[in-house]
């Protein structure tokens, strides 16, 4: 009986303790908490790195397409020799890649 009476008198204190615990737990481990923020930040950084890589590949491909459209004979000759493994009898072909 005394426990119930003391709990009734300290309602506000108990409410503040539970409310503070609730907010603290959600700040750290909730769906929008600190741990989730760190994980999402890592994902975002990885996506930024992938974007940089893909942009560089895209620029390279656009440059190659431009060379083909301009009929750049050196580039076309290089493609022809690489794809068909063509060379004259007096040439030695060394593949570096």
Q: What is the pLDDT of residues 21-47, one digit of tens each?
A: 998 888 888 788 888 899 999 999 999
Q: Is the pTM of this model over 0.85?
A: no
Q: What is the tens place of the pLDDT at every residue in 8-20?
A: 788 888 889 999 9
Tokens (6 digits) for 39: 């994980």
Mean pLDDT of the chain: 87
Tell me the DSSP string of 23-66.
HHHHHHHSTTSHHHHHHHHHHHHHHHHHHHHHHHHHHHHHHHHH
């Amino acid at each position: 009986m005394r426990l119930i009476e003391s709990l009734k008198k300290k309602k506000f204190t108990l409410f503040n303790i539970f409310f503070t615990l609730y907010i603290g737990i959600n700040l750290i481990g909730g769906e929008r908490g600190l741990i989730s923020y760190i994980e999402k930040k890592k994902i975002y950084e990885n996506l930024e790195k992938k974007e940089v890589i893909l942009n560089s590949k895209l620029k390279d491909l656009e440059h190659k397409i431009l060379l083909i459209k301009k009929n750049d004979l050196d580039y076309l000759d290089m493609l022809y020799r690489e794809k068909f493994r063509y060379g004259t009898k007096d040439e030695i072909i060394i593949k570096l890649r």
